[in-house]
DNA sequence: AGCACGCCGACT
DNA sequence: GTCGGCGTGCTC
């Protein structure tokens, strides 16, 4: 089956000019408008199930449905559900996937034959096809677009690589297996082991409210859903780390438990560094990385405990190899980045998304699916358990908890206090006590924390990313300025003194601050970065390590436990052996400034990520939040209460009618086209339209949100209960005629993260 | 008549 | 998206 799979053409090479048989014309009748199907009579169809139902890869919403083709005898055996084919579509050759074989077609016209069977590998098995369909409907997109995200590009050489036997001769064994606290301690259950027979050793999960029950249910095949807020690992002052309760060890344990029950597991993480971190924990838990070979040992241990890493970063060959290993069932555990959310995992028992609030989990290609949503849909479609996890708590996850769809899993307050570092907020109020000396951006208290920390080990300094964050705020009290009508952020075009809402477009000529009644607005533009240099100069006898995507040394994964200043941008914080003695989170005002819905959540997530690398308060760990940050966010960190922040944020979203309390769809395109779509769309009850507003700033700046110059954007929102209807109606509207007549295409983006 | 262009509709 | 059909309008 890995041979020269079906490469023979379905018909002799031909084009319109190659003398194909013309359809007979009736005298006196107008010539048929449609070109005759080329070669329709030139092939013999398969005897058994001669019809293939195909989803074609065309990017047009209006054409997004299945099409029936004839299966030529020559492909009778190879064409099965999920295989890639080439078909004639209109006047062009396109790629497609066979969904099923049928005895007859409901199509009235004549069927054209499949042109080519690309490969017999069923890369879009039924479960994947169903998932793609569901995701497409949820996001009002085309199945074809989703399939393109779900199935990696084919790599023919990889497909032809020899199978498992070769792995025996390489003689690789699971590394670290023997010294793992969770090494296999008996005959490992193979893929066919009876479900639910394995004992559940929940390990550190038993210390969490709801933790053990979640794992037990997941292992028994129940579709339980949990939202878990993780705590920092148990760093110790001596520089050693207890190896079994960092988040990666916890996830590895969950993987192992569900895997031992005979089911597959899928874990999706934001980036390659997190995948690496989990990889190491899986290795320690007695699982084996089978990515490089794409195979596992052909014995029970290998088959039961192999996992593959599925990352676009790894390149096309490696990615396809890992995909095939999962597809063929050689590995039943898949870990990877966002596209892995679609990975074919047989008998999926548990899907995990780590740090579900990380923006990297949001796909940037249409129809912009989010990993958390894909896995949630998967949980419903495949009946698998779902774990939404992170150091923080997304508003969306909180909504799942509040609605009762998911259970909360978390540690008791006492445990939180025992694990978290002490967090001090050095805000304007704090700093003011220092009097005139507080002019410096780094107050003396922060210098002291850094100095004392350096005596005990490495000190992390988190600096907001370089660049500018445009904020409009009250000129008097600095409260961010809201639209009086819809609470969107007010923008201020340069040269103009009339603020305009960036959501609904209304002019707020007579704006006054609801807090202090000031009437002036200021644009706040803050840069940062030189702070790190200042620090370096201040501690001349201490090594300074810099970690950041744009820094010379790139992103560091780890640093030693030796005293050093480690300056990092958010997301690039190295893990320190034994944990950091202290951390300074600088420019808190910049970190929490922003006009987007997720600004607060982003800030607290970045801070939690850094702070979780610091030793607990009981071991002297201290975190200083330096600067004039949002009090709510700062308070959430000080109390180490991300769930509380999310809960409060959700209250606010409910009150203001913002996602995830409502569902929204953004329509972007030329004004005429957007208006035409809106006019032709029958909106669900309770739906409202914001805008349209130009996506190009009035001051001639670069277009935002990926729009073309002159494009506008309208936001349509509807109560969550009408979400499906909203998606369906917008989809119909965009697919309809209006979009085309209005000269220009309208793009639809459901559940946009930022309404600006 | 013959050709360039643009609009429209079809695509199994 | 991409193509072909057919109408329009222009030119020789």
What is the structure's pLDDT at A430? 56
pLDDT band at A210 (very low <50, low <70, confident <90, very high): very high
Q: How far is the CA of A31 from the C1' of B3 (A)?
A: 22
Mean pLDDT of A357-365: 95
Q: How far is the CA of A43 from the C1' of C8 (A)?
A: 41
Interval A671-685: pLDDT, tens: 888 888 898 889 999
Q: How far is the CA of A301 from the C1' of B1 (A)?
A: 81
Give the bases of strand C that a protein CB approaches within 7 Å.
Answer: 1-6
Q: How far is the CA of A76 from the C1' of B12 (A)?
A: 18
- Asked if residue A17 keeps its beta carbon closer than 7 A to nucleic acid strand C, the reply is no
Task: State how beta strands A306-310 and A333-336 pair.
Answer: parallel
Name the least confident of A145-149, A285-289, A608-612, A736-740.
A736-740
pLDDT band at A165 (very low <50, low <70, confident <90, very high): very low
Nucleotide nearest A17 (Cα, C1') = C4
Query: Which residue places its CA closest to the C1' of nucleotide C6?
Result: A33
* Res. A503: pLDDT tops 70: no
Mean pLDDT of A313-330: 94
Mean pLDDT of A205-221: 93
Q: How far is the CA of A667 from the C1' of B5 (A)?
A: 32
pLDDT band at A642 (very low <50, low <70, confident <90, very high): very high
**Average model confidence (pLDDT) across chain A:** 81
- Asked if residue A92 keeps its beta carbon closer than 7 A to nucleic acid strand C, the reply is yes
- The larger pLDDT score, comparing residue A168 to residue A283, is at A283
Please report residues contacting nucleic strand B, using a CB cutoff of 7 A: A 33-34, 37, 60, 62-63, 67-70, 87-90, 105, 107, 109, 111-112, 737, 741
pLDDT band at A203 (very low <50, low <70, confident <90, very high): confident
Name the least confident of A38-47, A150-159, A413-422, A695-704.
A695-704
Q: How far is the CA of A57 from the C1' of C1 (A)?
A: 10
Interval A75-87: pLDDT, tens: 999 999 999 999 9
pLDDT band at A577 (very low <50, low <70, confident <90, very high): confident
Which residues are CB-contacts of A64 (< 8 A; sequence separation ≥ 6)? A58, A136, A142, A143, A144, A735
Nucleotide nearest A70 (Cα, C1') = B12
Q: Rounded to whole angstroms, how far apart are CA atoms A630 and A592?
A: 6
- Asked if residue A29 keeps its beta carbon closer than 7 A to nucleic acid strand C, the reply is no
Mean pLDDT of A371-397: 97
Mean pLDDT of A91-108: 94
SS (H, E, C) A106-126: CCCCCCCEEEEECCCCCCCCH
Name the least confident of A82-91, A151-160, A372-381, A668-677.
A668-677
pLDDT band at A435 (very low <50, low <70, confident <90, very high): very low
pLDDT band at A243 (very low <50, low <70, confident <90, very high): low
Q: How far is the CA of A58 from the C1' of C1 (A)?
A: 7
Task: State how beta strands A622-626 and A422-426 pair.
Answer: parallel
Query: Which residue places its CA closest to the C1' of nucleotide C5?
Result: A33
Nucleotide nearest A65 (Cα, C1') = B12
Nucleotide nearest A51 (Cα, C1') = B12
Tokens describing residue A75: 């492909």
A126-138 and A143-150 helices cross at what angle (nearest 10)? 130
* Res. A438: pLDDT tops 50: no
pLDDT band at A701 (very low <50, low <70, confident <90, very high): very low
pLDDT band at A304 (very low <50, low <70, confident <90, very high): low
Q: How far is the CA of A17 from the C1' of C12 (A)?
A: 30
Mean pLDDT of A521-542: 64
Q: How far is the CA of A575 from the C1' of C3 (A)?
A: 56
* Res. A633: pLDDT tops 50: yes
- The larger pLDDT score, comparing residue A442 to residue A703, is at A442
Q: How far is the CA of A35 from the C1' of C3 (A)?
A: 11
- Asked if residue A35 keeps its beta carbon closer than 7 A to nucleic acid strand C, the reply is yes
- Asked if residue A62 keeps its beta carbon closer than 7 A to nucleic acid strand C, the reply is yes
What is the structure's pLDDT at A660? 95
- Report cis status (omega within 30 of 0) of the bond before A237: no
Task: State how beta strands A459-462 and A582-585 pair.
Answer: parallel
Nucleotide nearest A35 (Cα, C1') = C4
- Asked if residue A91 keeps its beta carbon closer than 7 A to nucleic acid strand C, the reply is yes
What is the structure's pLDDT at A33? 40
Q: How far is the CA of A148 from the C1' of B10 (A)?
A: 24
Q: How far is the CA of A93 from the C1' of B12 (A)?
A: 14
Tokens describing residue A675: 């208006």
What is the structure's pLDDT at A546? 84
What is the structure's pLDDT at A232? 87
- Asked if residue A537 keeps its beta carbon closer than 7 A to nucleic acid strand C, the reply is no
Mean pLDDT of A556-577: 90
Nucleotide nearest A16 (Cα, C1') = C4
Which residues are CB-contacts of A99 (< 8 A; sequence separation ≥ 6)? A53, A54, A55, A66, A81, A82, A124, A126, A129
What is the structure's pLDDT at A457? 93
Mean pLDDT of A124-134: 97
Interval A3-60: pLDDT, tens: 334 333 333 333 333 333 333 333 334 434 444 444 445 689 999 999 999 999 998 8
Query: Which residue places its CA closest to the C1' of nucleotide B10?
Result: A90
What is the structure's pLDDT at A194? 41
* Res. A137: pLDDT tops 60: yes
- Asked if residue A737 keeps its beta carbon closer than 7 A to nucleic acid strand C, the reply is no
Q: Rounded to whole angstroms, how far apart are CA atoms A474 and A490?
A: 10
Residue A570 parent element (H or E): none
What is the structure's pLDDT at A35? 43
* Res. A297: pLDDT tops 60: no
Name the least confident of A240-249, A554-563, A592-601.
A240-249
* Res. A322: pLDDT tops 90: yes
What is the structure's pLDDT at A604? 95
* Res. A612: pLDDT tops 70: yes
3-state secondary structure of A624: strand
- Asked if residue A30 keeps its beta carbon closer than 7 A to nucleic acid strand C, the reply is yes
Q: How far is the CA of A187 from the C1' of C5 (A)?
A: 70
pLDDT band at A423 (very low <50, low <70, confident <90, very high): very high
Mean pLDDT of A644-651: 96
Mean pLDDT of A310-324: 94
Q: How far is the CA of A144 from the C1' of B6 (A)?
A: 30
Residue A309 parent element (H or E): strand A306-310
- Asked if residue A745 keeps its beta carbon closer than 7 A to nucleic acid strand C, the reply is yes
Name the least confident of A48-52, A413-417, A733-737.
A733-737
Q: How far is the CA of A63 from the C1' of B8 (A)?
A: 16
What is the structure's pLDDT at A291? 86
Q: What percent of chain A has pLDDT over 70?
A: 76
Interval A473-487: pLDDT, tens: 777 765 667 777 766
Q: How far is the CA of A17 from the C1' of B3 (A)?
A: 21
Give the bases of strand B that a protein CB approaches within 7 Å.
Answer: 8-12
* Res. A536: pLDDT tops 90: no
Q: Rounded to whole angstroms, how far apart are CA atoms A30 and A26?
A: 8
- Asked if residue A209 keeps its beta carbon closer than 7 A to nucleic acid strand C, the reply is no
Interval A459-478: pLDDT, tens: 999 987 654 344 567 777 65
Distances (CA, A) of A700 to A318, A493, A534, A703: 44, 9, 36, 8
Q: How far is the CA of A719 from the C1' of B8 (A)?
A: 38
């Amino acid at each position: 089956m890995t041979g020269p799979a079906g490469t023979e053409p379905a018909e002799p090479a031909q084009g319109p000019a190659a003398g194909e048989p013309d359809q007979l014309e009736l005298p006196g009748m107008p010539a048929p408008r449609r070109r005759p199907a080329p070669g329709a009579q030139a092939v013999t169809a398969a005897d058994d199930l001669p019809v293939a139902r195909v989803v074609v890869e065309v990017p047009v919403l209006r054409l997004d449905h299945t099409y029936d083709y004839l299966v030529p005898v020559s492909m009778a055996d190879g064409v099965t559900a999920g295989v890639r084919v080439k078909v004639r579509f209109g006047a062009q050759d396109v790629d497609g996937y066979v969904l099923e074989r049928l005895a007859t077609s409901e199509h009235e016209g004549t069927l054209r034959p499949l042109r080519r069977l690309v490969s017999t590998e069923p890369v879009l098995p039924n479960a994947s096809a169903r998932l793609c369909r569901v995701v497409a409907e949820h996001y009002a997109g085309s199945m074809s677009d989703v399939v393109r995200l779900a199935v990696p590009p084919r790599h023919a050489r990889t497909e032809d690589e020899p199978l498992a036997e070769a792995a025996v001769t390489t003689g690789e064994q699971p590394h670290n297996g023997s010294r793992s606290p969770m090494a296999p301690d008996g005959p490992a259950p193979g893929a066919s082991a009876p479900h639910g027979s394995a004992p559940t050793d929940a390990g550190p999960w038993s210390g969490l409210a709801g933790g053990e029950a979640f794992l037990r249910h997941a292992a028994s095949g129940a579709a339980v859903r949990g939202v878990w807020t993780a705590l920092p690992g148990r760093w110790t002052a001596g520089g050693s780390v207890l190896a079994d309760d960092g988040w990666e060890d916890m996830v590895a344990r969950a993987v192992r438990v569900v895997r031992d029950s005979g089911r597959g597991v899928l874990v999706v993480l934001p980036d390659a560094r997190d995948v690496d971190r989990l990889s190491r924990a899986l290795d320690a838990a007695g699982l084996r990385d089978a990515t490089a070979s794409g195979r596992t040992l052909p014995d029970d241990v290998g088959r039961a405990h192999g996992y593959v890493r599925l990352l676009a970063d790894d390149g096309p060959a490696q990615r396809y190899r890992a995909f095939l290993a999962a597809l063929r069932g050689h590995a039943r555990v898949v870990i990877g980045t966002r596209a892995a959310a679609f990975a074919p995992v047989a008998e999926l028992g548990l899907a995990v998304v780590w740090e579900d609030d990380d923006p990297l989990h949001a796909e940037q290609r249409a129809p912009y699916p989010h990993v958390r949503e894909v896995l949630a849909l998967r949980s419903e479609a495949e009946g698998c358990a779902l774990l939404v996890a992170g150091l923080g708590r997304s508003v969306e996850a909180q909504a799942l908890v509040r609605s009762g769809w998911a259970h909360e899993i978390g540690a008791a307050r006492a445990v939180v206090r025992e694990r978290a570092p002490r967090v001090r907020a050095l805000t304007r109020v704090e700093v003011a006590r220092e009097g005139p000396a507080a002019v410096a951006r780094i107050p003396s208290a922060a210098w002291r924390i850094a100095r004392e920390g350096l005596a005990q080990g490495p000190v992390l300094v988190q600096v907001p990313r370089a660049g500018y964050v445009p904020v409009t705020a009250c000129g008097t009290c600095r409260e961010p300025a809201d639209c009086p009508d819809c609470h969107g952020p007010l923008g201020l075009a340069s040269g103009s003194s009339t603020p305009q809402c960036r959501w609904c477009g209304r002019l707020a000529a007579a704006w006054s601050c609801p807090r202090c009644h000031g009437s002036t607005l200021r644009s706040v533009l803050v840069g940062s970065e030189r702070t790190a240099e200042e620090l370096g100069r201040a501690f001349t006898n201490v090594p300074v390590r810099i970690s950041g995507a744009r820094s010379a040394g790139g992103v560091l994964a780890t640093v030693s436990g030796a005293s050093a200043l480690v300056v990092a941008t958010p997301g690039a914080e190295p893990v320190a052996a034994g944990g950091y003695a202290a951390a300074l989170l600088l420019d808190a005002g910049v970190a929490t400034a922003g006009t987007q819905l997720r600004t607060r959540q982003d800030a607290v997530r970045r801070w939690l990520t850094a702070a979780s690398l610091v030793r607990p308060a009981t071991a002297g760990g201290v975190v200083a939040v330096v600067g004039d940050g949002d009090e709510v966010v700062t308070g959430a960190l000080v109390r180490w209460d991300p769930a509380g922040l999310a809960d409060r944020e959700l209250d606010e979203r409910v009150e203001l009618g913002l996602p995830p309390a409502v569902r929204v769809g953004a329509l972007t395109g030329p004004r005429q086209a957007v208006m035409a779509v809106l006019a032709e769309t029958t909106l669900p009850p309770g739906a409202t339209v914001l805008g349209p507003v130009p996506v190009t700033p009035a001051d001639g700046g670069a277009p935002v949100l990926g729009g073309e110059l002159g494009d506008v954007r309208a936001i349509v929102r509807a109560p969550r209960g009408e979400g499906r209807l909203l998606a369906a109606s917008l989809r119909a509207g965009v697919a309809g005629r209006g979009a085309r007549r209005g000269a220009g295409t309208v793009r639809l983006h459901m559940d946009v993260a930022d309404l600006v």
